[in-house]
Structure 1
Amino acid sequence: MSTLNQLSLQYPIFLAPMAGVSTPQLAAEVSNAGGLGSLGLGASSIESCREQILKTQALTDQAFQVNFFCHRSEVLDLDVAQQWIQHLQPYFAQFGHHAPEQLNCIYPSFLDSDDYLHLILELRPAAVSFHFGIPHPHQIQALKEAGIITMVTATNLNEAQAIEQAGIDLIIAQGIEAGGHRGIFHPQRDAALSTAELVQLLHQYCNLPIVAAGGIMNGQHAQHLLDLGASAVQLGTAFIQCSSSNANTIYREALFDEPVTQISAAISGRPARGIVNDWHKWIEQLDRPEIPVYPYSYDIAKQLHQLAAQQQHQGFAAFWAGSQVAEIRQLEAAELIYTLAKEMRLA
């Protein structure tokens, strides 16, 4: 039995695991409609992860994936951090506050301990996916022995080959069109391949099943990537507008306001595609100082957004979205899955 068949999906459609946006309700709705639901848990505490997984399991008896970050934890350069704090101070001052004196590491990595691994082994979701890197060999082995399917995001051939050699079950091929953070292992080594280019490349040189991700907004996009060699597709932006997502009203409205997207590392310290706002127009200047490493930059970015939002200013929000966001439809999750399946000639 192939890895995808083990998931017993009606349709080869995955919900992208969007940290901060995904919810147990959205994950269950996608799974119950025949796709693979997901929980983006990379920014969640152990307690929150447990609660979300248990709630999803109570809402569906179908397979779903959980996702964690596998970034390499880096030491913060204090001089770089102070220069960045000073760079952002005028924007904090606009809202009557001082910038923080230091930056904090707000997101742990799956690589840093086995706490998240033990939780997965206890609760046994059907699949677990990883972003920004590959788990340790002992972690992969433990997941395999538990019968849990493993997936890792690749943005180029070298990453995909490393994923295959590590014994992972599926490759998520994430192109430059993807909204939010792509799973680049080393942010300075971005091959910037389109989803179609990446799928074709991995189909030629890798043996694992490929899940295409990035800029897919309808069934025509999806079917094209299946024709190029993908075994399944993964969509995120198209589902943000669903009422069961955790996106706020302003985020949802922005998706339908003829948005333009751009990639920037200024928000989090890693390149990520989002709707163009004050970060892209004012912070990401040619003469800006060096950006502190991820996720320290994200700490101060979230603080600035929180202050601005309290004064009804949304220009510093991270409204992540894929490059073809203008093509999304206002549909609830189950209807969207069925619409995609029809457009893919699967229903």
Structure 2
Amino acid sequence: MAISELPADLLDGHRQRLAEHAATGRLFSRESLDAYRAAGTRAAELGVPLRSLVDTALAAGEGLPAVLPALRMAVSALMEGYEQAQLAALRQEENARREFVDDLLQGRAERLAERAEHFGLRLAESYVVAVARGLRDGDQDRIERDLIARFGSHNVLVAVRDSLLVCVAPATLTAAVGEFTHHVRTRFPSGWRVGVGRAQRGPGGVVASYREAAQALELADGLGLTLDVVKAADLLVFPVLLRDRSAIEDLVTSVLNPLLEARGGHEPLLETLEAIFASHGNQTAAARRLGVSARAVTYRLERIRRLTGFSPDDPTQRFTLETAVLGARLLGWPKGFPR
């Protein structure tokens, strides 16, 4: 935008103020500086380039003697107003962006398509949602800036929901989840964990992927998993198990309650079963996991067989035992279960 293209009244009275300063040596009053700040704000709102605004202000001083101090004050006030307007616009955009993501994750559909287009979300595409636990103050802004710097503001959406840092990215942008995890690993304190939902299509798919990601964190906690990154796709069997809670509770109590009578408690026996399942039935490998001798594992498995009537050596009984153990961990057995 050339100087001649600026609104004629944008710097109204500026040349006259400079002339008065040249004649009297008096600097600008507070009211005059406020007028410059307002002009800077208006220029930003009109989309006037800052360089054009400053050039116009400086050009007004040509031919006037000793106006440099006043010009410096005027330009400084103009730039202050201009920057304040830009910051206000940026905050407004950030607030609108975060409000949109929050509405999207809650499934509120009001003007969703119109707002999605503004933020670059193409509702017909598939999206993946990743969530991170362990958020601290300031982490969101830094990670959001880093992700936008790499992938662009129209490719990733970042927000906080239910104390989780949430990242929404197109399923085709496969590097986004890995980059998100990298920044979480770098910035979050120990104990962080990332849950990743499956790729789902459309706004309803974003909600579903978010819920899967959050549930993956809950399942990982319940199962005592040590993974830093848990994927909903790897845990699909567990929501199925929990869908009929009464049935899984009945299975757990029927199969595992006899372990509560064991000397030394049920926990060592339950841990032994988990180690056996994780080691695909290899007792030597399970013993290494537990830090005990192979003979101790054999002894514990025999006690389990005697108490419950189930043995992990039998394929059908192994499946029943493993399902019961998983259900016990997910439901916090034996606390709250009838004896």
**TM-score normalised by structure 2 residue count:** 0.20
Higher strand share goes to which structure?
Answer: 1
Higher helix share goes to which structure?
Answer: 2
